[in-house]
Structure 1
Amino acid sequence: MSTSSGSSMRTPRRRVAGLGSARSGTGHFWLQRVTALSNLILILIALPIVICVAGQGHAATVATLGHPLVAIVLLLLLFSVTFHMRIGMQVVIEDYVHSEGVKVLALIANTFFTIAVGSAGAFAILKISFGG
């Protein structure tokens, strides 16, 4: 099979396979659903903790948040929420930013921002948990 633009033996389907907006859409779709489900479950676990510390003094709040199981739940929730946020913003950027250079910069900024938010939150939780 020869084409006017060259001597490619690839079919039209093979030439476009892996290109376009659908190349990772299913993966993002499922990752968003899985992280949304984990957010829901972890929020349902963390909500009683937040209600428990509401209105308590500083020392009691730090003692509650410093418990290892509470710290683990909060760290898991923080990781899940920031990962979900990054995926969601990535999809928005890919769909609505049309300039390739601006899109790449926005995707990099999105990743750095979510890493910064997650790191700051993890540092705070770990500092409270380890009594620092």
Structure 2
Amino acid sequence: MRSGTALGRVRGLGSAHVGPQHWWQQRVTAAGNLALMLWFVLSLARLPIVDHQAIVLWLKSPLVAVPMVLLVVSVCWHFRLGLQVVIEDYVHEGSKIVATLLANAYALAIATLSIFSILKIAFGGVAA
């Protein structure tokens, strides 16, 4: 006995075809977060002084700005994936679409503002 509709079987869709991709994305972003957070903490620990001017000068380096942007993207993507799982598991059917849209918009807004701030500093928009 097969599950799903005939159209779903033809398209190769079903419960066993979406979960693994989501699971792998969570694991890949988690590994990226671990590596990039380790870089971030060690980089900050190596700074002789941690004040506003030192952080701004630190972020002006392309060797710092690029990994920071990657860190923001990875963390926000991982956050969105985690929220999606929570919404799918615990939000009632009528509210799932709205909750998913709000969660996606929130993650996108955080990522956009963070990346904009990093790039503004990196390209000299903030005086040191």
Query: TM bucket by the smaller chain?
Result: 0.7 to 0.9
Give the structure 2 partner of residue 5 of structure 1: none
Greater RCO, CA 8 A, separation 6+: 2
Cα distance, 1:14–1:22 mapped onto 2, change above 3 Å? closer
Deviations 1:14-52 (A, max 9, x none): 537534x54421111111001000000111111122224
TM-score (norm 1): 0.81
Q: The residue matched to 2:3 in structure 1 has which SS?
A: helix
Which residue type is aligned with residue 103 of structure 1?
K
- Superposed CA RMSD in Å reads 2.0
* Alpha-carbon shift at residue 60 of structure 1 (Å): 2.2
* Alpha-carbon shift at residue 13 of structure 1 (Å): 3.4
* Alpha-carbon shift at residue 110 of structure 1 (Å): 0.8
Whether 2:60 is the aligned partner of 1:70: answer no
Residue of 107, 124, 131 corresponding to 2:124: 131
Give the structure 2 partner of residue 45 of structure 1: 39
Whether 2:34 is the aligned partner of 1:13: answer no
TM-score (norm 2): 0.83
The structure whose Rg is larger is 1
Cα distance, 1:22–1:14 mapped onto 2, change above 3 Å? closer
**Counterpart mapping for 1:1-132 below 5 A:** 12-13=2-3, 15=5, 17=9, 18-19=13-14, 21-53=15-47, 55-99=49-93, 101-132=94-125
Q: The residue matched to 2:83 in structure 1 has which SS?
A: helix
User: Which sections of structure 1, spanning at least 5 residues, go unmatched?
Assistant: 1-10
Which residue type is aligned with residue 56 of structure 1?
V
Separation (CA, whole Å) in 2 of partners of 1:54 and 1:119: 30
Q: The residue matched to 1:13 in structure 2 has which SS?
A: coil
Q: The residue matched to 2:110 in structure 1 has which SS?
A: helix
The alignment-based identity, stated in percent, is 42
Which residue type is aligned with residue 107 of structure 1?
T
